[in-house]
Amino acid sequence: NRFIDFAAGIAVASTGHSHPQVVQAIQQQAEQFIHISSDFYHEQWIALSEKLNEIAPFEEDASVFLTNSGTESVEAAIKLARLHTGRSQFIGFLGAFHGRTMGSVAFTASKAVYHRGFFPLMSGVTHAPYPDTYRPLLIPRPGEDYGKTVVRYIEEEIFERIAPPEDVAGILVEPIQGEGGYIVPPPEFFPALRELCDRHGILLIADEVQSGMGRTGKWWAIEHFGVEPDIVTSAKGIASGVPLGAMIARKSVMTWPKGAHGNTYGGNPLACAASLATIDLIENQYMQNAAEMGQYTMDALAEIQARHACIGDVRGKGLMIGVDFVKDRETREPDGKLRSRVEELGFEYGLLLLGCGKSTIRIAPPLTITKDEIDEGLEIFDYIIGLAE
């Protein structure tokens, strides 16, 4: 079977499938050694840490802790935030996905199934509405930007009624919400959130597991909003499918003592080699391609949207694009059944698609994708939407 891949293994296969440069890096490393453990430094580990420090979204120096997955990166961020601040409370967001281990799943709020049967979860997490301008949960004041409405809700409702700000260690947020529906926040949200964190001594933790590593046309999605976080979590596209994650923090924040946190496989030599090759390819070829092909795809999807009343919204940055299906454009009622039918037809007609949120299909192909491949994929997409309607 031949497929056009618009899913990239949940935004993991950033350089496509088995890119020769990544394969060669893995093979060469495998001939030296496969595992050495975090008790020892090795060349690839040091080189990768230095590269991640270089591309981290902070002006000041960064420190890196290597993990095996996104949820493990989030767990490390939770521990670091608690230790650094001496506080225990956190703010998360409705619709979020941060993982399914016991710390990260307390922040995850996209599907009840992730919690069912696992209570009590980690205590101390309060959720605010994510700034979704297409389906807002809050009512802005006259003339107020919706992103500022959400930040005001945190300050006036959560801080005053639930979690005093002096007890809050961190705010964990996806710069573009992933599983929640590929939701892009309004531009005023992150500057207001950064100001709130600064005023109360709270760490801003950006979960870039899905949105980072060049997917949005920049190394990190938060760079689109002009603010610097204190901690960044990464995984997925960082090593082209080889399991690897990273928790990157300002050097002034990552101050934990030796032995406070660790793992056995984090920074595995094969994974580090794959990541170095991946980052090189993204930096020199595919990040710019993600920006250009992302805009090309958004323009083409706008034309498809004009032909199909069931498409309520098209949103995204770079090659992180969501197509939201609705029963009615006026009410914006989600049409999850239609979305699922489009997914199924895509598989039948040779287009790999993946849903998110209540009614959204994500367009998240490898960053290597070409115009011809996009055209072919969107031709199928247009056709199967017509079949599903």
CATH assignment at residue 125: 3.40.640.10
Q: Which residue has the tokens 């924040």?
A: 253
pLDDT score recorded for residue 174: 99
CATH of the domain at 304: 3.90.1150.10
Cβ atoms within 10 A of the Cβ of 96, count?
22
Are residues 302 and 275 part of one domain?
A: no
Choose the final residue of a domain: 267, 282, 297.
282
Are residues 74 and 91 part of one domain?
A: yes
Q: Residues, the chain, total?
A: 389
pLDDT score recorded for residue 40: 84
Are residues 193 and 150 part of one domain?
A: yes
Are residues 163 and 106 part of one domain?
A: yes
Are residues 321 and 181 part of one domain?
A: no
pLDDT score recorded for residue 70: 98
Are residues 320 and 272 part of one domain?
A: no
Are residues 180 and 67 part of one domain?
A: yes
Contact (Cβ atoms closer than 8 angstroms) between residue 269 and residue 40? no
How high does pLDDT run on average in the chain? 98
Are residues 305 and 180 part of one domain?
A: no
pLDDT in tens, 326-383: 999 999 999 999 999 999 999 999 999 999 999 999 999 999 999 999 999 999 999 9
Give the residue numbers spanning the domain of 169: 20-282
Are residues 184 and 149 part of one domain?
A: yes
pLDDT score recorded for residue 41: 85
Are residues 204 and 185 part of one domain?
A: yes
Choose the final residue of a domain: 282, 312, 341.
282
Are residues 168 and 82 part of one domain?
A: yes
pLDDT in tens, 144-192: 999 999 999 999 999 999 999 999 999 999 999 999 999 999 999 999 9
What DSSP character marks residue 340? H
User: What SS3 class is residue 142?
Assistant: coil
Are residues 125 and 43 part of one domain?
A: yes
Choose the final residue of a domain: 226, 247, 282.
282
Question: Which amino acid, residue 32?
Answer: Q
Helices (H), the chain: 8-11, 20-30, 43-55, 70-85, 104-107, 146-153, 159-161, 189-200, 269-281, 287-307, 336-349, 371-388
Domain count, the chain: 2
Among candidate residues 96, 316, 315, the one with its CA nearest the CA of residue 217? 316
**Cis peptide, bond prior to residue 365, ω within 30 of zero:** no
pLDDT in tens, 210-267: 999 999 999 999 999 999 999 999 999 999 999 999 999 999 999 999 899 999 999 9
Cα–Cα distances in Å, from 360 out to 183, 311, 333, 373?
10, 9, 12, 21
Cα within 13 Å of Cα(229), Cβ side: 27
**In percent, how much of the chain has pLDDT > 90?**
98
